[in-house]
Amino acid sequence: MSITYFEDKRVFSLDTAGTTYQMQIGKGDYLVHLYYGERLEGTAESVYTYNANIYCPEPMDLPPGTLSPNMLMLEYPASGTGDYRTPCIDVIFADGSRALDLRYSAHRIYSGKQPIEGMPSAFAGEKDIQVLEITLKDTVKDFYVTLVYSVSEDTDSITRSAYILNKEPEPVVLKSALSCCVDIYGGREYDLVRFMGRALMERELIRTPLTQGKLSSESVQGLSGHSSNPFIVMCGKNTDEKNGDCMGVMLIYSGNFTASAELEPHGNARVTAGIHPYGFSWRLDNGETFCTPEAVISYSSYGFTRLSDNFHRIIREHICRGSYSLKRRPVLLNSWEALIYDFDYDKLMSLADAASDCGIEMLVLDDGWFGKRNADDCSLGDWIPNEKKLGGTLANLAAGVNERGLKFGLWFEPEMISRDSDLYRAHPDWCLQCPGRTPAECRNQLVLDMSRPEVCEYLYNSISAVLSSANIEYVKWDMNRPLTDVYSAKLPPDRQGELYHRYVLGLYGLLDRLTSDFENVLFEGCASGGGRFDAGMLYYFPQIWCSDNSDAVDRLFIQYNTSFGYPMSAVSAHVSPAKSHQTERSMPLETRWITAMTGAFGYELNVTLLSPEERKEILRQTDFYREYADLFLKGRYFRLNDPNKNDVAAWEFISDNGETAFVGAVQRHFSPNNCPAVLRLSGLLSGACYDVSEAGRQILTGVTGDVLMKTGITVKYRREEYPATYFIITKEKSVNNE
Ligand code: DGJ
């Protein structure tokens, strides 16, 4: 049993293979957090959870000196009744009062995790997943919060969400409704790791010691954003890749969010995550329920590597859905960095011909195929192929590509509208805009009001018409600006605070319909690169364009940082031109290839301009990729060398059975008169013997996994700009091997 209720101690224990999460119905029926860490036999003692403290308010139903809410480790803290740390919930009742005092009222444990209606959430898959529901009730009002926990034993993670139910006769207004809280004893001993950054340099890892006050990763842009990510990690001061404890919290959500760690004055830390309260309010009429997005929480006492592995598996096996989630993706060529808007039928066919010679399996036509779009200033919303430019119908174009042995994929940016579009001329009120104010443009475009069913219906109809009109086997779903002027012509003034979340719900509803109707189409997410790289999107799309920065050296950093929370099956990466469009840095083809080999690999350059030798080289690359694609898609991923600290960045993919590994290494900086870089491998079978080849040349035979993991392999410095190499490590097939 992964969930146990110890009745004598009133303790709930959520056990995974390696971890335990415990909470207790404590004094006064407060639901207090007891423990989260390595697997625990027995129940934790609540030694530190019942202090009353000087100048801290106490509840009047308990004897004086029993406890102060401000000192409790709480599972779902409410505001207004004496806890001054970040609340999970803040409510205004019809009488204007804003105090909530949540105490335990009931619980149930059952098998079979249910999806959250209208929102992405982790699914059980083949496994039987246990669920715990704990209902808290306000001490005065007919108002309830049901906390839902589910346990994923094999990925050492638990999920959390909260269902908020108003049974008061009058409506209430939620001002904040977060997904989870984990209170941690001794917060001064912790660092917070966040993934911040900016467009073209997304998810930079920032590790900050906790000091009194609050550190957060958050977005108020209407999407998870380039500059923050809904994934944070709390870790010990000495935690590194292989050692030390850490806890990750990830939201399965794509809109405004906050994920924060607050060190309160007495030294404990509160970690919370959920929808950002900025601009949020939600009216709940009598009998209505609001459900928060789901959060995934995981703990590792073996450093970041194990934590990442947990998140990789839960995303790959319990969040990504659809026929492509665990299936090899075709090697694609995207037209964007190859042709931008400058294409016609002949150019696309030449590209397809050259791509086919290179062993590429799909041509993706990016922006510019619809309306009259030849620049980024028009036609978004008019999802009608520009047959003049394409030299005929889309079906004809797709057929031409198919005849050349390639699949065909197409780009859309559905959530947007250009002022210069037929859609805008017909429905100027369909975009987000405040009365009397000209909405701000960004990349010459406005944002559609995705909370309106008729907008989503229009998009559903126009996109499905395009997808049904031709043999389209892949869709790139782009989104190129944050939200402004967040006001809907369809919502009453007192419900405008619901719009940010309703936008996301509208989007999820649309994605649900399209991805189920076109279940064999491979969908890829994108938001000016990696501006919406989150687990919410990964529920609909198994892969996301990781960044618009396809410079291989910059990608070393971006992909390294992204891998802390997200699996390489989700990280879309392409070989782009020799001289990077983004940085103008020149890099060898080999380096661009080695860096781009993830579970979602492709090319993004004009292959017609390459020399015959380069094309031959690409053919060799794509053949190699096909041979090891399973490793890149489903293998465990280890960060071997941090590019921030090492001249040679390196990483490893290894099969689940530990028998085959790929190691990629890029010398991102030349350091003269230096020793070779040593890469200590991970995940091999200690007693087994392995052969090692470097760039196709055998360099070692019969070396034990133990030796490769403890002493490593070496990468020599080369007096060149950004050279790269790769190793294949294969277990020998001798009978004596394990
Ligand atoms: C932004 C994306 O990130 C690019 O890859 C490309 O699709 C452009 N949009 C097209 O407008």
Question: Is the pLDDT confidence value at 423 over 60?
Answer: yes
Sign of CA dihedral 122, 127, 128, 130: negative
DSSP state of 484: -
Structure tokens, 691: 């052969």
Pocket test for ligand 1, best of 336, 341, 582 (most atoms within 8 A of CB): 336
Q: Which active-site residues does the annotation give?
A: 534, 614
* Structural contact between residues 504 and 496, judged by C-beta atoms closer than 8 angstroms: no
pLDDT digits (tens, 9 = 90+) for 30-80: 999 999 999 999 999 876 666 778 889 999 999 999 999 999 999 999 999
* Structural contact between residues 482 and 223, judged by C-beta atoms closer than 8 angstroms: yes
* Residue 411 alpha carbon to ligand 1 centre in Å: 9
Integer angstrom CA distances of residue 189 from 250, 404, 706: 21, 60, 33
State how far the Cα of 523 lies from the Cα of 545, in Å rounded to an integer. 11
Same domain, 598 and 698: no
* Residue 138 alpha carbon to ligand 1 centre in Å: 49
Answer whether residue 325 is part of any domain: no
Same domain, 644 and 627: no
Answer whether residue 148 is part of any domain: yes
Q: Kindly report the CATH number assigned to the domain that includes residue 678.
A: 2.60.40.1180
Q: Compute and round to an integer the Cα radius of gyration of the chain.
A: 27
Grade residue 540 by pLDDT with cuts at 50, 70 and 90: very high
Same domain, 429 and 410: yes
Answer whether residue 456 is part of any domain: yes
**Which residue's C-alpha comes closest to atom 9 of ligand 1?**
528
Mean pLDDT, residues 446-451: 98
pLDDT digits (tens, 9 = 90+) for 354-398: 999 999 999 999 999 999 999 999 999 999 999 999 999 999 999
3-state secondary structure of 325: coil
Grade residue 667 by pLDDT with cuts at 50, 70 and 90: very high
Q: Which atom in ligand 1 lies closest to the alpha carbon of residue 376? A: 11
Question: Is the pLDDT confidence value at 738 over 60?
Answer: no
The pairing of beta strand 543-545 with beta strand 522-525: parallel
State how far the Cα of 654 lies from the Cα of 648, in Å rounded to an integer. 20
**Which residue's C-alpha comes closest to atom 1 of ligand 1?**
528
Mean pLDDT, residues 208-230: 98
**Which residue's C-alpha comes closest to atom 2 of ligand 1?**
528
Answer whether residue 46 is part of any domain: yes
Q: Which atom in ligand 1 lies closest to the alpha carbon of residue 411? A: 7
Backbone angles phi, psi at 561, to 5 degrees: -65, -40
Question: Is the pLDDT confidence value at 464 over 80?
Answer: yes
Structure tokens, 181: 């809280």
* Residue 366 alpha carbon to ligand 1 centre in Å: 7
Same domain, 423 and 525: yes
- Report the chain's mean pLDDT, rounded to a whole number: 97
Same domain, 13 and 151: yes
DSSP state of 737: -
3-state secondary structure of 464: helix
Q: Among 87, 92, 75, which Cα is nearest to 148's?
A: 75
Answer whether residue 326 is part of any domain: no
Q: Which of 614, 634, 654 is the last residue of a domain?
A: 634
Bridge partners (DSSP) listed for residue 294 = 252
Where does 97-223 have alpha helices with state H? none
State how far the Cα of 301 lies from the Cα of 174, in Å rounded to an integer. 37
* Residue 529 alpha carbon to ligand 1 centre in Å: 7
Same domain, 295 and 363: no
Pocket test for ligand 1, best of 526, 533, 576, 581 (most atoms within 8 A of CB): 526
Query: What is the DSSP annotation of 386-439?
Result: -HHHHTS-HHHHHHHHHHTT-EEEEEE-TTEEESSSHHHHH-GGGB---TTSPP
Same domain, 597 and 649: no
Mean pLDDT, residues 411-417: 98
* Residue 336 alpha carbon to ligand 1 centre in Å: 7
Same domain, 282 and 373: no
State how far the Cα of 594 lies from the Cα of 576, in Å rounded to an integer. 12
* Residue 671 alpha carbon to ligand 1 centre in Å: 36
Task: Please identify which residue in the block is written with the tokens 């618009």.
Answer: 548
* Structural contact between residues 183 and 31, judged by C-beta atoms closer than 8 angstroms: no
State how far the Cα of 342 lies from the Cα of 124, in Å rounded to an integer. 46
* Structural contact between residues 652 and 712, judged by C-beta atoms closer than 8 angstroms: no
H helices then E strands: how many in the chain?
13, 38
pLDDT digits (tens, 9 = 90+) for 314-353: 999 999 999 999 999 999 999 999 999 999 999 999 999 9
> Taking CB atoms and a 6 Å cutoff, what residues make up the pocket around ligand 1?
336, 366-367, 411, 478, 480, 526, 528-529, 545, 548
Q: Which atom in ligand 1 lies closest to the alpha carbon of residue 548? A: 3
Given this model, what pLDDT does residue 737 score?
46
* Residue 237 alpha carbon to ligand 1 centre in Å: 39
* Residue 478 alpha carbon to ligand 1 centre in Å: 7
Query: What single letter denotes the amino acid at residue 606?
Result: N
Backbone angles phi, psi at 203, to 5 degrees: 55, 45
Pocket test for ligand 1, best of 332, 337, 339, 366 (most atoms within 8 A of CB): 366
Pocket test for ligand 1, best of 333, 478, 541 (most atoms within 8 A of CB): 478
pLDDT digits (tens, 9 = 90+) for 68-127: 999 999 999 999 999 999 999 999 999 999 999 999 999 999 999 999 999 999 998 777
Mean pLDDT, residues 461-465: 98
Q: Kindly report the CATH number assigned to the domain that includes residue 87.
A: 2.70.98.60
Number of compact structural domains in the chain: 3
Task: Please identify which residue in the block is written with the tokens 């779903």.
Answer: 477
Contacts of residue 7, Cβ cutoff 8 Å, sequence gap at least 6? none
Given this model, what pLDDT does residue 127 score?
74
Cβ-based burial of 642 (10 A; exposed 0-12, middle 13-18, buried ≥19): middle
DSSP state of 680: -
* Structural contact between residues 478 and 526, judged by C-beta atoms closer than 8 angstroms: yes
Same domain, 600 and 723: no
Longest CA–CA span in the chain (Å) reads 85
* Residue 266 alpha carbon to ligand 1 centre in Å: 48
State how far the Cα of 197 lies from the Cα of 598, in Å rounded to an integer. 22
Given this model, what pLDDT does residue 47 score?
62
Same domain, 401 and 425: yes
* Structural contact between residues 425 and 476, judged by C-beta atoms closer than 8 angstroms: no
Mean pLDDT, residues 171-192: 97
Q: Kindly report the CATH number assigned to the domain that includes residue 592.
A: 3.20.20.70
**Which residue's C-alpha comes closest to atom 6 of ligand 1?**
336
State percent of the chain over pLDDT 90: 96
**Which residue's C-alpha comes closest to atom 11 of ligand 1?**
367
Given this model, what pLDDT does residue 49 score?
63
Structural domain including 539 reads 332-634
If residue 109 lies in a helix (H) or strand (E), which one and from where to where?
A: strand 102-111
* Residue 575 alpha carbon to ligand 1 centre in Å: 15
Q: Which of 606, 634, 662 is the last residue of a domain?
A: 634
Answer whether residue 42 is part of any domain: yes
* Residue 195 alpha carbon to ligand 1 centre in Å: 22
Same domain, 484 and 547: yes
Answer whether residue 327 is part of any domain: no
* Residue 711 alpha carbon to ligand 1 centre in Å: 43
Structure tokens, 407: 């699949």
Answer whether residue 324 is part of any domain: no
Q: What's the start-to-end Cα distance of the chain, in Å? A: 32
Does this model's pTM top 0.75? My answer is: yes
Same domain, 299 and 342: no
* Structural contact between residues 498 and 215, judged by C-beta atoms closer than 8 angstroms: no
* Structural contact between residues 253 and 230, judged by C-beta atoms closer than 8 angstroms: yes
Bridge partners (DSSP) listed for residue 524 = 476, 543
Pocket test for ligand 1, best of 411, 474, 533, 544 (most atoms within 8 A of CB): 411
Q: Which of 254, 285, 318 is the last residue of a domain?
A: 318
